A and B are shown apart, each in its own frame.
Chain A
């Protein structure tokens, strides 16, 4: 009986150790401008499939991503990548995504400013679609004029469509959905993740 019990334990422990549910992952190459913060070769990558009109995405950005940008991305320990995933029921989220994508083409600073302003003022523009006003106030006139020109570029919509297709390929069902790559492993997380959880996880890898 003891032998059977011992063998059972051994088999179960081996099974657990050999087959952890989190998969190993190869991360796709990134261009520096794709990162909202941090360098593409940072040891940790945080890819977020997000919708600008979704309240949980706003919560994730304001409560978790903002401090990550400040504490980890500024030191190139983490690269944050926003993947646009505008949901069908949200009237203005695609419009907001277009502004963010255009700002990404302007430069990292402008991209950060626009993403921050869109999430920060979500409650305002979500009522009437006044994303334009929010972006204008955040960017200032010079950058705003350049951004308006970029909005005419068809590659903006193509980029959003490509990211949406990528999300569907990776079975993103809701926003926000995070893919965290570290130590050649991937973790998928659906829903907001508090900063202290991310901090605990990051500190074990990069501190």
Chain B
């Protein structure tokens, strides 16, 4: 019972997080880029120019799709793996940017959020439920399938 509650807390928490972070990055129309998000991506000084606008345009939808898949519970192992990979890549990008001494906007939960140790720790904490879901599907695939 406790594990079942923990499972749903992780799923709902992650889905809510991805839905919110995707939603705030949406542009003013379907597939219209959010220019503030494009400016944030540019601020990282990490992405090549041709990649920046497609990222600004489509990435929020990737986050929203992941949120929906987490709620639906379809192919949980792969969805949990994708969530882990995405959050791990956020942490890496934030850490690299911070270590390079770039004063950039995180753009994670708002566009008024400077990158610092706390933002990196926060993203690290978000990785925990994704890791739990992944571990659950890897070590007890039958229970995970039944639960979904």
- Chain A residues touching B, range: 20 to 34
Q: With an 8 A cutoff between CB atoms, is A12 at the interface?
A: yes
B41 to chain A, nearest CB (A): 9
Say if the beta carbon of A67 comes within 8 Å of chain B: no
Say whether B39 contacts A193, CB under 8 Å.
yes
**Once the chains bind, are B29 and A5 in contact (CB under 8 Å)?**
no
Q: Which residue of A lies closest to B73 (CB)?
A: A5
Q: How many A-B residue pairs have CB under 8 A?
A: 83
| B52: chain A residues within 8 A (beta carbon) | 196-197
Q: Which of A148-207 contact B (CB under 8 A)?
A: 173, 178, 180, 183, 185-194, 196-197, 200-201
Binding site for A on B (CB under 8 A): 19, 23-24, 26-30, 32-36, 38-39, 42-43, 49, 52-53, 56, 64, 67-68, 71-74, 105, 111-112
Q: Which of B26, B28, B111 contacts A185 (CB 8 A)?
A: B28
Residues of A within 8 A of B (CB): 5, 8-9, 12-13, 16-17, 20-24, 173, 178, 180, 183, 185-194, 196-197, 200-201
The answer to whether B33 touches A201 (Cβ under 8 A) is yes
Q: How far is the CB of A54 from chain B (nearest CB, A)?
A: 14
Using Cβ atoms and an 8 Å threshold, which residues of chain B touch A188?
A: 36
**B36 x A187 contact (CB < 8 A):** yes
Q: Is the CB of B34 within 8 A of A22?
A: yes
Residue of A with least CB distance to B40: A191
- Option from A13, A24, A183, A197 in Cβ contact (under 8 Å) with B53: A197
CA distance A140 to B72 in the complex (A): 70
User: Which residues on the A side are within 8 Å of B111 (C-beta)?
Assistant: 190
Closest to A180 in B: B35
